[in-house]
Amino acid sequence: MLAKQRQARILEILAEQGAIRVTELVERFGVSDMTIRRDLDYLSELGKLNKVHGGATRIDLSSASEPGFEAKQVRELEEKSAIAKRAASFVHPGQAIAISAGTTTWMMAQMIADLPGLTVVTNSVPVADVFYRQGRPDQTVILTGGIRTPSDALVGPFAIQSLRTINVDAVFLGVHGFSAESGFTTPNLMESETVSAFAHKGRKLIVLADHTKWGIIGLASIADLSAADTVITDSGIDPEALTSLKEHVTNVVVAERNQAGSD
């Protein structure tokens, strides 16, 4: 297969799946790791895909575009891991917490899954599964009902209804985008209502958002930046964006990528 044919097929795969790993492409095309990485470099320079650690993702330009969980799972892995670790430090045994859907919140769930006595309310199927697989008998996990979105979130009237009588110590929120003008946003209208319901159910609201989400404005707003008690982002955030963020949020935590694997 010629390079142009292989590259065209890579773009077709991304259009269908949203994301692909280098290892999958090596196996699929029977070429070397280096050859695939050169293909991805070339297509990235043309603006036809996003290169991420270990693979590539489709470029989505619409404010209503909602990547699937698998597509988002391979983006900004180091940044998300560092953010998740800092967020996990806010959780203590015996607390009642709420965790919204998202790949960063899913990483955080894995880091706190062994804490005793937790009560966890979530609208995320993958987050609930993390605690289910851990199998601690002293934990309580409440999965809201609702309509399942491409990002594996449960949203809509059933999810909102289940949140009305719940109060927790802290809410950990993942977002699609955030900006000074539009606050925290999502591309899914029903998800915005559900996540807004989450945001008002905790004594503290802690938002997890990597630097690539700054300036991204989804179709629907969730809350103003000032609604968050804490925003945890990563060191890749633009200095001007960080200054703007600090003007609206009392506590801004910047996670260094090299902290993700440290003690």
**Residue that has been written with the tokens 């110590």 in this structure:** 169
Give dist(CA 102, CA 209) in Å, integer: 10
In the chain, count H helices and then E strands. Answer: 10, 15
Q: What's the topology of domain 3-59?
A: Arc Repressor Mutant, subunit A (1.10.10)
Residue 76 pLDDT greater than 90, yes or no: no
Share of the chain above pLDDT 70, in %: 91
Task: Give the integer Cα–Cα distance in Å for 178 and 250.
Answer: 16
**Residues 81, 234 contacting (CB under 8 angstroms):** no
Q: Could you tell me the end-to-end alpha-carbon distance of the chain, in angstroms, rounded to an integer?
A: 47
pLDDT in tens, 134-189: 989 999 999 999 998 877 889 999 999 988 889 999 999 999 889 998 999 988 78
Q: Which residues contact 135 (CB under 8 A, 6 or more apart)?
A: none
User: How does pLDDT run across 180-234, given as a tens digit for each residue?
Assistant: 989 999 887 888 899 999 998 999 999 999 988 888 888 888 999 999 999 999 9
Identify any residues that bridge with 66 across adjacent strands, giving them in sequence order. none
Cα separations (Å) of 128 from 70, 94, 111, 193?
A: 16, 17, 13, 20
- Token pair 């603006």 in the structure block, residue: 47
CATH class of 73-259: alpha beta
- Residue 228, both tokens: 């968050």
User: Domain coordinates of the chain in residue numbers?
Assistant: 3-59, 73-259
